[in-house]
Structure formats: structure tokens, C-alpha cells
Chain A
Amino acid sequence: MCSFIMAIQRSILRQAALVFGTLGMIAALFPLDSQALPLFARQTGQNCMACHAGGQFPELTPYGRMFKLTGYTIGDRVKVPLSVMALATYTKVGDTSKSDNSAGDFQKNGSPIFANASAFLGGKITDNIGAFVQWTYDNYAAPTADGSSYTGHAGMDNVDIRYADRFITPSRDLIFGVSLNNNPSVSDPWNTAAAWMQYVPVPSPTSNQFIDGAAPFPGFGSGGNLAGINMYMYLNKLVYAELGTYQTAKGIFSPLSAGLDNAGTTKLQGANNPYWRLALTHEWGPHNIMVGTSGMIAHVYDDPTDTSDSNSVSRILNTGLDAQYQYILDPHTVTAQVAYMRQKTDYSANTVAANHDGTNVSPYFAADGITPLAPFNDSDTTNVFRAKLTYVYQAKYGGSLAFFNLTGTTNTALQSSGYDSNGQVTSNDPMETGIASTRVNGNLSGNPATRGLTYEAFWMPVQYARVGVQYTAYDKYNGATDNYDGLGRNARDNNSLFFYVWGAY
């Protein structure tokens, strides 16, 4: 690790001028005026740190959670309900040599890039209705056909439009609301929710595939770009309950997946894809804690472009547990988070039938080059655990440590490298059955196990700009510590340094 860090020092120095130049421009563009803040801050007139713990987005303070749960309606309606943010990044992967195509596998490695930008629309609409709508342009959305560069793409990101009311009597404090959203748990006010627990900001994983943003986190198998209606209540700042259901974002809900093509939009069967959330909360002094559970049952079509066959629907059951502790007392902010998510996927009837009639067969063999591999699984289970500890001083200087651990069932269908009939490991497909096989992303074991640590340090010179550096170290990747692809690549070869400059207005 030391030699790796020394090796990248020179290139970091070369990029420093660019990064700090960008930072300087951000600081120059945004004067130190407490009114000149992003959308919600303009609405309430408050600093970012009123709602974001230690000023670090997106993690919310107790007050920020109340702002969200009451429908983003506190404050004055602003005339131009718009904010923007942009992200410049630099990534360096530990080892680029163990690759069949390092130029393609690590195309933007060591290059500073303008990663993405978002526009936010929303805030208070009426006394009871408010919105959070994020539209994101990803400069590295997809590789071009020849793999030599990338194409940018803009599309709908997170959407949460809600109606909320709050009924207060001397003995009762009840918030009730309804959220129209496009991503399970984006409506959740705690940072351990699947939609919020990843490190942010995140550039497109297509250009930086091993940074923390691409590492396992407790997400929902259904993915985003859906259409959900969730009802929620928060009683006496003690019990939070949410119940909703999701369906494909089509028809009147199609704006929730605007910008995504048909093949890239998750297709759910019907509208019976329930999501639930229950949390208990308590505050004492500068401390607050939440313990909760969440889950979802999603019926997902195997092929988003073909929803004609009900036998091509897989059932994904997610069940999660999470907890968060915060200590917020100026100048200190401490947050501890843990989240666990179990995911059981029952593959579609068509997949199961193909598993049993001999259609689905692995092109690889056991190590002897003779014995066929076990048949594909009819169902798989994964377990993701993630824990994170963060400290921020004066809402300016922060650091964190996160641990992630994905375990799961072994399935030969997951293998993207294996032994051929000569007992030699190959990253090619010996039977040409069409399995995508690249060396860096190879999986020899058929097991998804991935484990590692992410360290981060960041600095917020002003409240709407952040400079951060992350280091993600893998102890296990695709089921193995060493030689996970069968061709010599080790988990630690994927260790990645990630440097970013983020700004918002």
C-alpha cells in the first residue's frame, strides 16, 4: 500500500493545480453570503448545517429530518426554486497491469475529469406540498461502441414529491404524509437507508469502477427509476412507519424515469411491489439514535424490453436492519451508522426451467477440466453489511471510516472466468455461449463475496463546496482475496484512491 501511495504522489501533485484552481473558481463564484445558498437554504434562510449533520450532505440532523418529513415546506417559497451542483474527480486504481485491456478497463484512471452535474428543482410548493427533484448529467454514462471514449447522458435522478401535514396537541405530535418517488427509500430521512448510505459524491462507476460508490452497500434489488407512492407517519418523535408500493415508471409516472431508455428502465410486474419501513427514534441531550427495519418485495422482469411473459419475472425479497447514532454539539459532529440488508432472489420460471432442461449450462469446467460445474441456482441470497463512523469538526474538517462486507450464495452462473477443457483458466468463453468475460471483472468462484474498508478525509472551505479524498481498500473481491479472476488479479489490486471537488449553488 505504501509503494502504491508513493507511486501516485507525483500524479496527484500534477493535478493539484487543476483541483485547487477549480476550488478557487467555486469560491470566487459563490460569495460568502449566508443568503447565497442552495435551494432549501434559500427557502429557510438557514445554513446548510442546520439540516445536514456537520454540514456534510446528505446526512440529516434531527431538524433536517423534520424539514423533510414535513414535506420541505418550512420557510418561504423562493422565486427560482432551482439549485445546481457539479463534481470534478480524479481516480487512481492500485494495479492496472493485470488486465487484458488496461486502456479499456481503466480508461479514466489517473485523469482528472468533470464527472457529473445535477440540477435540483423543488422546495416549498404549497403549505403542504414540497418537492426534491434531481436531474443529473453524467459525463461518463456509457462507453462508446469502440470503447475509446464515453458518451454523456442526462436523466432523472432522485425524485421525492410529498404532501405532509402535522397535527399537534399537548399529548400528540403526528406527522402524516404521502411521497411520490422513484427510488425505494429515497423518501427515508435517515442516512442508513439504502438510497443514502453510499459515500457521496459518486462519479459514474463506468469510469471509476472500484471507488466506494461502486462498492457493496445495502441496497434494494429492484434498483431505482421506478414509480412509488408511500404513506408515512411519525408519531411523537418516537415511531416512524412507512408503507408504499412501486410499479414501472410509465404512463403518468413516466417523468420519474425521464431520460432513461427502455432497456435501461427497470420493469416491475404490476403495482404490488410493497416497500415498508419501521423505525424507533430517541433524542437526549445532544444525542439521537434510530433503530429500524425496512424491506421490499419486487417482481422484476428479466428483460426490460419484453414484459409480455409473466414467466420471465424474478422475485426479489429485501429485508434490512439499520441503526444510526448522532452526537451533534458545536463544534463536534459524530455519526455512527450500521446497516444490514438480506436479499433473496427467486429467479423467474423461465430461468428455472432453463436451469433444469439443460439450456443454462456453464461453459466452464471444474479445475480438472473434465467435471461439469454445478447447475445454475434457482435462487440466490446475498447479505450486505456496512458500518460507517464519521467525525466533523466545525462543519469544516471531517473524516470517516467505513467497512463493507458482501456475502452470498455461490452460483456458477456468476462465473465470468473458469477452467477450460484443458484445465487452464481462461477469461474467454470456450463454448461461446455469450457470457460477458473480462479479466478485471472476472469471477472464478461464482461467489459474490466482497469486503473492504473506505477511509475518507474532507474539507469544506465554504459550506457549499467540499474537497475530499477517499481510499477504498479491498480485502476480498468476487469471492476471493487472491486470484479472484483465476488470472492473477488480487482483491487489493482494485484498491482505489478517489479525489473530488464538489460545489453547489
Chain B
Amino acid sequence: MKKILATLLVGLAAASAGCSNLERSRDLANPNVPPAVTAVQVCSNCHGIDGNSISPNFPRLAGQQPAYFVAQLENFRGQHRSDPAGFEYMWGLSHHLTDDQIKGLADYFSKQVPQPNAQVDAKQMAAGKEIYEKGIPAKEAPPCITCHGPKAEGLASFPRLANQHQDYLVKQLQVFQRTDERPNTPMTQIAHLISHDEMESVAGYLQAFPHDKK
């Protein structure tokens, strides 16, 4: 029995000692690991294999705009985006990613199919829809639809918001409103015009974004 166990151990060690397993690697410092491998072996642990994360602690990435995705990962890598979700989770993970790997990850997640997310109550849905499509004229807050699109699918550097987690969206709006942790975005100015309840409503509407609009 002991010989079998020892052989098993030595065999496993020899099989992987010093060599990398590029098809199923979780190494984030190896530029040769294909982005699709990193996506499913590492990113998937929080964001889901298909980019539809389950926990609202982690944003959904399925169908995300590649340009926005690349910009965010570059900001994490360069430590320019310092909101808690950024530095607690993403600074270290993105530290050694190459430009090509980042582009590859953006490509992988942009091609994943967004799945419906949890529903919110009808009152919040209606209020959120109103804000998303018409803004808040009394506060001169512009409609979200202008940049993020009629299907909330985003465009280039404007992120996709449809089916994103409500909690994540609210927290990011608060980051824009209360901090300078995500600099150089028009959202800093816009978020100052929105109350917490309005954030909850529009984020709830986006989480439960109507399926027939896809």
C-alpha cells in the first residue's frame, strides 16, 4: 500500500514538476497562458464560467463591451482604479497580465451570452425605467440611455448595464459619487445628481432588464 501511495505521489509530482500546463493553468504570471484558459480557470471562480456571476459581490461580465473591459483591466493593472472591489480583488490578479491577454479576456467575455437576473418589485422597476430613459430633468441628470443604449448594451467605453447586479451598480454609483477612486469618467458628475433611492431604482431596473428588449 505504501509503495502504491509513494509511486502515486512521485508520479504526480514528476508529471507536473517544473512544467506548465497551458491548457488548464491558473498561473497569472505566464504570458503564454491563453486568455480563454485564464477566464475559465481563474476569473470564473467569481464571475462565472460564462460571465454570469451568481454573487452580486462580483459584476457580470457576459456580453460586456470589449473596450470598456480592456480599460478597466488596464486600470486595475496600473492601480488607477482603487475602489474596494478593485484593489481587494483585481490589482493582484491583473498585475502580470499582458496586453494581449487582457484583450483576449475581453473577447472571451464579450462573446458570452448574458442571462436574466433576479427581478425587482414593479414600483422600483417603473421608477428605474423612468430614470434610465428620461433622466431626472429636475436635477438636470441626463438619461442613462443616451450613452448606455436602448438595450443597455453599452457602446465601446460605455459599459453594458443590462442584467448587471443591482448591488454592484449601486455600490459603483456610490464610488463615483463619494470618492475619486474611479477617476476620469463623466459618471463622477452624474452620480452627484442622483439620490440613493434613485440609484436603487435604476440599478434594480437594469438588473431585471426586460427580456424582450434584448
Contacts and interface: CB of A to CB of B under 8 A. Distances in A.
Contacts of A271: 1-2, 5
Most buried by B among A41, A77, A163: A163
B92 A127 contact: no
Interface stretch (A43-51, A102-110, A216-224, A471-479): A43-51
26 contacts: A34-B88, A41-B92, A46-B89, A73-B27, A74-B26, A76-B29, A77-B29, A126-B18, A126-B20, A127-B20, A127-B24, A127-B27, A128-B16, A128-B21, A129-B16, A166-B24, A168-B41, A168-B49, A173-B49, A178-B12, A247-B2, A283-B54, A286-B55, A330-B57, A330-B84, A330-B171
A66 B87 CA distance: 20
A63 B54 CA distance: 12
Contacts of A74: 26, 28, 41-42, 45
A254 B57 CA distance: 43
Range class of the B interface residue count: 35 or more
B54 A49 contact: no
Contacts of A214: none
B92 A229 contact: no
B71 interface: no
B49 A163 contact: no
A322 B102 CA distance: 41
A126 B25 CA distance: 9
A47 B21 contact: no
Contacts of A329: 55-57, 167
A47 B2 contact: no
Contacts of A35: 92
Given A34-B87, A35-B92, A127-B27, 15 more contacts: A41-B92, A45-B92, A45-B95, A47-B87, A66-B45, A76-B29, A126-B17, A166-B24, A229-B5, A252-B2, A252-B6, A270-B1, A286-B56, A328-B57, A329-B55
Contacts of A166: 24, 26, 41
Interface of A: 34-35, 41, 44-47, 49-50, 62-63, 66-67, 70, 73-77, 124, 126-129, 163, 165-168, 173, 178, 180, 229, 247, 251-252, 270-271, 283-286, 328-330
B91 A34 contact: yes
A66 B26 CA distance: 12
Nearest to B20: A127
B26 A127 contact: yes
Interface string B11-46: 011011111110011111100000000001110111
A165 B29 contact: no
B89 A50 contact: yes
Nearest to A282: B54
B115 to A, nearest CB: 13
A45 B29 contact: no
B12 A76 contact: no
B88 A46 contact: yes
Interface string B157-197: 00000000001000100000000000000000000000000
B28 A76 contact: yes
Nearest to B56: A286
A127 B93 contact: no
Given A44-B92, A46-B88, A129-B13, A168 B44 contact: yes
Contacts, number: 125
Nearest to B92: A45
A62 B6 contact: no
Contacts of A75: 26-29, 92-93
Contacts of A270: 1
List the 3 closest pairs (A to B, CB-CB), nearest first: A45-B92, A76-B29, A47-B88
Interface of B: 1-2, 5-6, 8-9, 12-13, 15-21, 24-29, 40-42, 44-46, 49, 54-57, 84, 87-89, 91-93, 95-96, 118, 167, 171
A47 B84 CA distance: 10
Contacts of A44: 28, 92-93
A273 B41 CA distance: 34
Contacts of B1: 247, 270-271
A284 B54 contact: yes
Contacts of B93: 44-46, 75
Contacts of B54: 283-285
A46 B92 contact: yes
Nearest to A228: B5
Nearest to B42: A74
A173 B41 CA distance: 10
A3 B87 CA distance: 47
B8 A229 contact: yes
Contacts of B6: 252
Contacts of A67: 45
Nearest to A231: B8
A389 B196 CA distance: 31
Contacts of A46: 88-89, 92-93
Contact of A63 (B40, B45, B87): B45
B96 to A, nearest CB: 6
Most buried by B among A124, A126, A180: A126
Contacts of B46: 63
A360 B5 CA distance: 40
Contact of B26 (A50, A73, A180): A73
Contacts of B2: 247, 251-252, 271
Contact of B12 (A66, A73, A129): A129
Given A74-B26, A178-B12, A271-B1, A285 B118 contact: yes
A168 B38 CA distance: 12
Nearest to B6: A252
A173 B20 CA distance: 21
A367 to B, nearest CB: 51
A34 B6 CA distance: 40
B49 A45 contact: no
B19 A126 contact: yes
Nearest to A62: B55
A308 B87 CA distance: 58
A49 B25 contact: no
Contacts of A252: 2, 6
